[in-house]
Amino acid sequence: MSLEVIAPGVLSLLQDRGRFGAHRIGLTNGGPLDPEAFNYCNRLLGNDPGSTLVEISFGGGHFRPTVDTFICVTGASMPLTINGAEMPLWAVLPVKAGDDIRLDFAERGCRAYLGTAGGFSVAPSFGSTATVVRENIGGLGGDKLKAGDSLPCAAVSGRRCYYLPPEHQPRYQDMVTLRVIPGYQQAHFSRLEQRRFFSHGYTVSERCDRMGYRLEGPAIACDIEGILSEGICLGAIQIPADGQPIVLLNDRQTIGGYPKIGSALSLDTARLAQLRPGGTVHFAPISPHGAHNALHLAHSMSGRRTLLERQP
């Protein structure tokens, strides 16, 4: 009983909410780059919040279930077809054994989440199924999905077919603004360099992946070349010797020695991860108090969004 991978697309990885508490042994978090889309996929399916899904980057996936179940796809606008018929995203859809499920390449955004009712049954590694290819842990043998892989899932005969109304679905753009919480190393950047950082746009380079997004734009100078290696949080913005910012994401290294001008708000790193190379990034300062308020407001608004039921 499984979902068979006919073609995995550009990059498809099994992910749960992430691996926490393992930095002390050098293991990073992993988990979904866009937690909002990930959480909605599980919520729509009625799954436990941390159930394992497939994160599909850029699209091109082709799957076939061997059981009758329900699926849902959230996130980037990847045209979805079942047996050649176009189907909606952000909605629970019934599928039967042998159905042909295809995801075309993303038209807007670049990360989508494919789930089944009950999630995929994968043995955890260090407490999580999150795949981190660099560390060769999680998922199926610590690697990205390949043609011929089988993703264990249950046969499900009854599930309410919810959908998220279009007005509540995220709108992925080619430009995002990252709210930045200052760090203690910000003092090593002069007021002129800080103004340059916050007043110019940066372009997402080709060197962007689950570890981090390298940006291209006005170089930022720092009065120190490096620091004693220390722990790195999600969204940390490193400034290496070339002055081009790197925003670190889920598969980042656990320690690093580049100075950091601050850290991007986690709500905004999710939007960053939906940008493709060539997208534009702006930075705006935010206080720790303002960041807490933004997180609480986003959590509150998410809980108020009502899922509607559709006929299967």
CATH topology of domain 175-300: Cyclophilin (2.40.100)
Q: How far is CA 109 from CA 25, 43, 121, 223, 258, in A?
A: 34, 21, 28, 37, 29
Q: Phi, psi (5° rounding) for residue 102? A: -130, 140
- Residue 302: pLDDT over 80: no
- Cβ–Cβ under 8 Å, residues 156 and 120: no
> Across-strand partners of 246?
214, 238
Identify the pLDDT of residue 230: 87
The identity of residue 288, as a single letter, is P
What mean pLDDT is predicted for residues 223-236?
Answer: 87
pLDDT class of 213 with cuts at 50, 70, 90: very high
> Could you report the per-residue pLDDT of 125-158, keeping only the tens digit for each?
999 999 999 999 999 999 999 999 999 999 888 7
> Whole-number mean pLDDT of the chain?
93
Identify the pLDDT of residue 224: 85
What 3-state DSSP class applies to 25? helix
What mean pLDDT is predicted for residues 174-202?
Answer: 94
Across 44-48, 213-217, 224-228, least confident range? 224-228
Q: Give the number of other CB atoms < 10 A from CB of residue 158.
A: 6
- Cite the residue boundaries of each domain of the chain with CATH code 2.40.100.10: 175-300
Identify the pLDDT of residue 109: 95
The identity of residue 98, as a single letter, is G
Buried b (16+ CB within 10 A) or exposed e, 224-255: eeeeeeeebebbbbbbbeeebbbbbbbbbebe
| Residue found under tokens 């303002």 | 290
> Could you report the per-residue pLDDT of 179-189, keeping only the tens digit for each?
999 988 888 99
- Residue 211: pLDDT over 60: yes
Identify the pLDDT of residue 245: 96
- The CA angle 33-103-70, to the nearest 5 degrees, is 85
Identify the pLDDT of residue 311: 64
Going by C-alpha positions, the residue among 185, 172, 192 that lies closest to residue 261 is: 185
- Cβ–Cβ under 8 Å, residues 201 and 276: no
> What percent of the chain has pLDDT above 90?
85
- Return d(Cα 156, Cα 273) in angstroms, integer: 32
Identify the pLDDT of residue 303: 73
What mean pLDDT is predicted for residues 99-108?
Answer: 96
pLDDT class of 312 with cuts at 50, 70, 90: low
pLDDT class of 74 with cuts at 50, 70, 90: very high
Residue by residue, DSSP assigns 138-160 as STBTTB---TT-EEE--------
